[in-house]
Structure 1
Amino acid sequence: MNLRLFALASASVLALGVVGAQAADLTYEPAPVVEAAPAVFNWTGFYLGVHAGAALVDGDYSFDGFGFSDDNTGFIGGVQAGYNWQFDNIVIGAQTDFAYTSAKLSDDAIPAENKLEWLGSTTARIGYAFDNFLVYGKGGVAYGQSKIDDIDFANDSQWHVGWTAGVGAEYAFTQNLTGLLEYNYVDLGSQDYFDDFVSADLTTNVIKAGLNYKF
């Protein structure tokens, strides 16, 4: 009996040793690492920014039965603020911008100079987002301050109010910083100067680039 129990115990120990050795020989394979998908950019939010570019100003003038036209290109630079809402790929928003311009209009036959000093707009925007790339159109009200100086050092400043429409593209470099390129046509309408003696009708083509910080 003792011999039989000893043989059974020896066989059990041997079997456990074989199983342990086989388990030790198994190769350990770590669980595969699943990389997180890159975050999709969301355009919703408030932003502030700056812009600069060129303002191509055209002016039509009339006074005392005489009329002439002139055009000139000047620098434009300013600031903008707005808010976007994104619904799937559709982005809608509202924006206000205000800028200094240096464009001056004159004519050799007329001893006067017209300068468009400031230009601004309040517009609605609608666009389509390809992740962090946005294309959009915009339209709304435009306004600007214009000043006419004549040879006698008399001057008159008036605010023009009209409309604007444009298109643009914006690219998000990071979750907070975006860059834009934009074209706008601005019709500031007609305004009278010097007690209705002079009438000035101003339009502007604006090409600008800018940066926005999205909060």
Structure 2
Amino acid sequence: MNIRLFALASASVLALGVVGAQAADLTYEPAPVVEAAPAAFNWTGFYLGVHAGAALFDGDYNYGGYQPSDDNTGFIGGVQAGYNWQFDNIVIGAQTDFAYTSAKISDDFVGAENKLNWLGSTTARVGYAFDNLLVYGKGGVAYGQSKIETVGFGDDSQWHVGWTAGVGAEYAFTQNITGLLEYNYVDLGSQDYSFAGNNAASADLTTNVIKAGLNYKF
């Protein structure tokens, strides 16, 4: 009887030892950590920004039957503000901008110089977002203040109102800072100018604007 009990106890101890050894050989491997993918950039919101570039100024004139055409390039720099709404990948927005320009055209034959002092627009934008890259088209109303100075006949300033259309791309560097590159064609239409009380000239003005800018998105 004692022999049987001893054998049974020995077998039990041996079995426990084998199981314990096998359990000791098992190594613990923690589950891999899955990092969450960064959230896609959302273009919805209000923004303010600045821009600078070049204005390729073109004018067709009529000085009492003399009808010259000329063009010149000047600096442009200003500010913009707008709001975007994003629906899936489609981004719709409204924007207004206003800028100073140094563009001017001179005509030595009549002794006149035309300066495009200010240029602005109010436009709608429609684009497609590739996450933090937005490509878009825009169009709307354009306006600008032009001044013609003459030698011996004084000067006159007029506001022109016309239209504009353009394309651009905007890239989000952070959740708040975006950069843009844009081209716009601007047609300011024709306006009459008076010197010494007479309608002595008319000017039909257009400009091509290439600009880069930065926006802060709120």
TM-score normalised according to structure 2 size: 0.91
Give 1:153 deviation, angstroms.
Answer: 6.9
Query: Corresponding residue for 2:19?
Result: 19
Matched, 1:205 2:215: no
Unaligned runs of 5+ in 1: none
Instruction: Map residues 41-60 of structure 1 onto 2, 5 A cutoff.
Output: 41-60=41-60
Give the superposition deviation at 1:3: 6.0
Q: Compute the displacement of 1:60 (Å).
A: 1.3
Q: Distance in 1 between matches of 2:92 and 2:26?
A: 59
- Match runs of 1:153-172 below 5 Å: 154-172=154-172
- Distance of 1:64 and 1:131 partners within structure 2: 56
Q: Percent identity?
A: 87
When structure 1 is superposed on structure 2, of 143-152 and 30-39 the one drifting more is: 30-39
Q: CA deviation at 1:154?
A: 2.0
Deviation at 1:17, TM superposition (A): 3.0
Deviation string 1:140-180 (CA, Å, 9 cap, x unpaired) is 00011111111137221111111000011111222222111
Q: How does 1:1-215 map to 2 (within 5 A)?
A: 5=5, 7-152=7-152, 154-194=154-194, 195-215=198-218
Give the letter for the 1:90 counterpart: I
Q: For 1:70, what is the secondary structure of its paired residue?
A: strand
What is the CA–CA distance in structure 2 between the aligned matches of 1:7 and 1:196, rounded to whole Å? 128
Deviation at 1:64, TM superposition (A): 2.3
Structure 2: where are the runs of 5+ without partners? none
Q: What CA deviation, in whole Å up to 9, does each residue of 1:14-52 have, x standing for no partner?
A: 433332221111021110121222322221111111111
Of residues 19-28 and 98-107 in structure 1, the stretch that sits farther from structure 2 once superposed is: 19-28
TM-score w.r.t. the length of structure 1 is 0.92
Helix, strand or coil for the counterpart of 2:53?
A: strand
Aligned positions, number: 215
Superimposed CA distance per residue, residues 53-80 of structure 1 (whole angstroms, 9 cap, x where no aligned partner):
1001111111323322221100001111
Structure 1 counterpart of 2:152, one-letter code: D
Distance 2:57 2:29 in 1: 71
* Secondary structure in structure 2 of the residue aligned to 1:197: strand
Q: Which amino acid aligns with 1:197?
A: A
Query: Aligned partners of 1:214 and 1:18: how far apart in 2?
Result: 67
| C-alpha RMSD of matched pairs (Å) | 1.8
Whole-Å separation in 2 of the counterparts to 1:186 and 1:48 = 22
